[in-house]
Structure 1
């Protein structure tokens, strides 16, 4: 065969080399090393993609197409690396569609940027420099270089034949990797074994197969399957008054009361009952409420892509996020069974308050789906310029109390949900709002800023309580507090720094995902500290029990448990952890390719647990339950 002209092969080969180098860089961000065993999957996927582009692109457009493709690919990998730095999971094409939310959290994203992430664009800088040098040389020589391509038809045909053969080989080989990838639940292991591009193909195929299965499904059959699976759950305490058995513990102790729920931004559990080296109490208000009410110190986040909005979704529905898309975006068009609907049947008015624009994370879809009577967003508040979101927690509570007073004056019971923002990363509290004196060693550090922001959140809650008492709302209002998700990133604040500065044991996964859950019922000096482990799907069943709402009587499908009436708990986590991960009262489990090569850590000692074979049933139950949860939410009817 005659020599193939360099013009043809240079575009394909050079772009291919650049793509492979960038994928190797991405693997370094994911795994800390390249993992050569998985590199063939990357190479074959890149080869197949570029061969297809080569065959479909006209000769004169190749330069523009290849550089445009390189630019898109570079931005995709850059976004993926940044995404992984925050979420610790490999995003799919569907997840990356949420990049339109980035401008709203630019301060948080900026904190994750590292110089090495910009290496994905290094070739563009070098190419631009080379073009400048060439232009200067031409000017000095006073000549202009022109190129005329005169490619013989036979040479072009030979080149296309070679490219077609390579395309077929790479496609067949990639198909093998895709099939292998479908057998791996752990997303990070899957990306490692099959490569980033094949990982996207697996996600697309799995999504299509699941959607097809759902389209042929029946929600009543799914609910029956859920009930059947949950009836096999070995740790449930059977206490349901509907069936003539004894009433559950604490059932109805707040029946008829108003309900205020405060979802606290980036609020981890370790600051509760914490004193700094100078004796300053970080959360004095919450400490007092926890001491008087019910405090669950072993609760863990379960959010998906939607972060804060997913936490709202879970609290109000007891349904797992699918992790494929923010629930507000993907399911905001549904009629979601929810706490607002349950309480509205009892004569409550349900309102929600958030100082940002309601379109952020598509809350303008989520709140109608949950059936809140009204939402109050940015225009409802005076902007005191606390942070990028605008108004402070104090301003949010001021407006909220006015609305609650109006409902109270009309003898209407209310459910008010508040979503705080003042402790959002990067945790910079304006000087005029600061309420705590930090030890010198914490001043100016990310950990110190976090303590400052957490303390302000606590302080603002104290101000709310004062307003409730003044408005004669305190004595008949149940309060619920919980964290939406972690605040401290391991790359910004290490476990070692937290332990050294604060004197608390800390694990980068267990402690980071550990959030507080506090319930306060006025006039009921409960003083309960529950050792039961739980997640955000468990909050609605627990709150409903205390309010005297029987989910069984209401035929409400919940995927969580009433934490006050269960012998032992078990719940799944995914997205920040790979699919198949779970917590129970003893351990956190993270699978490898499957159960056998997974790892377990004690949630009490934070030490590895070598023998976890006894938890296989937990693993199988959780994976089955979460699949049914996905099936259930996808079958819910759309709103009219």
Structure 2
């Protein structure tokens, strides 16, 4: 290689390294809405390390092509990470790539979250390609080059490479070590930098011993029992028969998991149009829990299915259907199977979506009905509408009624899936001009249709003779509105209600309609999705203690206080108790608290330190427990 060619290769090293660094700073700004200059060296360090390694191992004639290919690969990763953050609100780790095959199932939703600025990650590549084509056209075929590099140039090259490797590696190691003591994953990622954070995630996954635990599950269960005994959930004497125990014994059970359904639309109207009339009526006739919050992890809707059926925390690093679909999961279907029930689940998508073909056998369902069982009325990208979901469900459940078999049915809705676009023929409310062509307007329209469709389910159950012998449970799987898409002020202006970007966003409805109730009951106890199984088991007369069932949630009808943890969509250590939502900073003392009643900041939250410590221990034991469950 001649001297001028050598100089150009060296220049490409600096140019590509600089461009990647700028892209990481762009990602930092998109993630954290600021660039903390004291941490920008944490982004530069891994770039120097990786570029130095490439320069060390790649032959000279290939260096330029490899540098730009590496730039292209990282640009694609950073683009995908930004889109992921737009959609989910959390910094992805490399484990998120396990779920890449799911993207094509929700491509409409993903496309809607791409922002113009995301394409900046590819701007330099477009310019470089255009420039290269122009030069080739202008100059014609390249002439053979003499291969000679002077000793001085070679020495400089090696000094740069070694400095990049040693300096970048040392600073990266320091950044990763400094982030280890931070509980908050967002602060970890901001402190360590995106690339170092990926290394940190890999180290933590290795320390967690992957998905296979070591130890005795009986010892873990004993630790869970001891820990939970230290938190006074109930003042009732031990051995007291719980309230409402067995009041619905032997009844059929239908659980409707409502897609992206938050609690705030309930009991609200939009210019005189009641948004959720069906759910409002059910809430007034049954048990309504207005202070329940999502606890899902990376598996989103499938994690909600997992939790409502197991009362186990998601591990947060990847979907539970992906990581634990090969286990024998203690579950509500298995508890009810022992009582003579058959359990089925219904979803209008393909069963392979989110690996449900593995999850459902792991949970012990008798069978499932997926895409091919429903008439496709082309409602959205999933295919069939909620109305078609319910028509098929009632048909199949009526067959069980004729056999005299009690059933547990899980119905997973999809009509209110992001981006909340529903066909005009299915719309049932008229939006005011200020909400037309807005995400909030689309969301309220989709929620209203979801509510209407539930009314068709109820009518079908009544006509088939199932209604009076069926417990109907309805809950939201996760939030629908992201703050960057719908600011709180827009909700407040549209509906005239207070709305908080964290408390209100994570607040989901839970309604249990039980046959024979004389009047409805509002239960103001704070709860989470882990509490659904214990609450339902009590009504059905299933004693979890006598069954030896380990639940990490609690019966909301029989506790005097509660605390529920959350992670993934909020930093690990986030919790809701009966008074506040707490979100940690680097730890507890620099965290933030918001009142659940007033939605205002709580300045002094020091008395809740014990709740923070308790939740961290409980989630850790849940992880330990689920990893020790036997494989199928």
TM-score > 0.5 by shorter chain: yes
**Structure 1 residues 430-459: Cα deviation after superposition (integer angstroms, max 9, x where no partner):** 122222233343333322221111111111
Q: Deviations over 1:33-57 (max 9, x none)?
A: 1111111111111111111111111
Residue deviations 1:590-629 (CA, integer Å, cap 9, x gap): 1111101111111111100000000000000000111111
Give the aligned partner of residue 47 of structure 2. 46
Matched, 1:271 2:268: no
3-state SS, counterpart of residue 473 of structure 2: strand
1:473 is matched with 466
Match of 1:220 in 2: 218
Give CA-to-partner distance per residue, 1:351-382, whole Å, 9 cap, x none: 00000000111111110110100000001111
Offset from partner CA, 1:70-110 (integer Å, 9 cap, x none)? 11100111111111112221111112332221111111112
Secondary structure (helix, strand or coil) at the match of 2:270 reads coil
Q: Distance in 1 between matches of 2:214 and 2:443?
A: 48
CA–CA distance in structure 2, aligned partners of residues 165 and 504 of structure 1: 58
Tell me which of 360, 363, 369 is aligned to 2:362. 369
CA RMSD of superposed structures (Å): 1.8
Report what 2:249 is aligned to.
Answer: 255
Whether 2:528 is the aligned partner of 1:527: answer no
CA separation in 2, counterparts of 1:195 and 1:489?
24
Q: Indicate the residue corresponding to 2:87 in structure 1.
A: 86
CA distance in 2, matches of 1:93, 1:246: 48
User: In the TM superposition, what are the counterparts of 1:409-558 in structure 2 within 5 Å?
Assistant: 409-558=402-551
| Cα contact 2:534–2:553 (8 A) shared by 1 | yes
1:204 deviates by 0.8
CA distance in structure 2 between the partners assigned to 1:211 and 1:238 by the alignment: 40
Match of residue 97 from structure 1? 98
Which secondary structure state, in structure 1, belongs to the residue aligned with residue 130 of structure 2?
A: helix
Does the 8 Å CA contact 1:4/1:159 hold for their aligned counterparts? no
Q: Distance in 2 between matches of 1:588 and 1:219?
A: 32
Distance in 2, matches of 1:157 and 1:179, equals: 33
Residue in structure 2 matched with residue 166 of structure 1 by the alignment:
164
1:194 aligns with 2:187: no
Name the structure 2 match of 1:403.
396
* Matched positions, count: 630
1:235 Cα deviation (Å)?
2.9
Unaligned runs of 5+ in 1: none
Q: How much does 1:136 deviate?
A: 3.9
What's the counterpart of residue 570 of structure 2?
577
Gaps of 5+ in 2: none
Q: What TM-score do you get using the length of structure 1 for normalisation?
A: 0.95
Summarize the alignment of residues 26-37 of structure 1 with structure 2, pairs less than 5 Å apart.
26-37=27-38
Shift of 1:239: 5.7
* Kept in 2: contact 1:335–1:369 (CA 8 A): yes
Separation in structure 1 between the aligned mates of residue 324 and residue 124 of structure 2, nearest angstrom: 40
Q: How does 1:4-23 map to 2 (within 5 A)?
A: 5-23=6-24
Taking the aligned partners of 1:197 and 1:616, their CA distance within structure 2 comes to 32
Q: Cα deviations across residues 383-409 of structure 1 (Å, max 9, x unaligned)?
A: 111110000111111111111111110
1:49-448, aligned counterparts within 5 Å? Answer: 49-138=50-139, 144=142, 146-152=144-150, 155-156=153-154, 159-211=157-209, 215-238=213-236, 245-277=239-271, 279-448=272-441
Closer, same or farther in 2 for the Cα pair 1:288/1:215, shift >3 Å?
closer
**Greater displacement, 94-103 / 368-377:** 94-103
Residue 40 of structure 2 aligns to a residue in which SS? helix
TM superposition shift of 1:172: 2.4
- 8 Å contact 2:9–2:64 — kept in the other structure? no
1:533, CA displacement in angstroms? 0.9
CA distance in 2, matches of 1:67, 1:226: 52
Change (3 A) 1:530 1:213: closer
**Secondary structure of 2:274's partner?**
coil
1: CA distance, partners of 2:337 / 2:42: 53
The Cα of 1:184 is off from its aligned counterpart by 0.8
Secondary structure at the residue paired with 1:609? Answer: coil
1:135-187 deviation line (CA, Å, top 9, x unaligned): 34326xxx755544422467436523542243123222322221111111111
Once residues 152 and 328 of structure 2 are traced to their aligned partners in structure 1, the CA distance between those partners, rounded to angstroms, is 62
Matches of 1:467 and 1:296, distance apart in 2:
25
Match of 2:592 in 1: 599
- How far 1:337 sits from its partner (Å)? 0.5
Structure 2 residue matching 1:333: 3-state secondary structure:
coil
| Deviation string, structure 1 residues 563-584 (Cα, Å, up to 9, x no partner) | 1111111011111101111111
Give me the TM-score of the superposition, normalised by structure 2: 0.97
1: CA distance between counterparts of 2:146 and 2:505? 61
Q: In the aligned structure 2, how far is the partner of 1:438 from the partner of 1:21?
A: 43
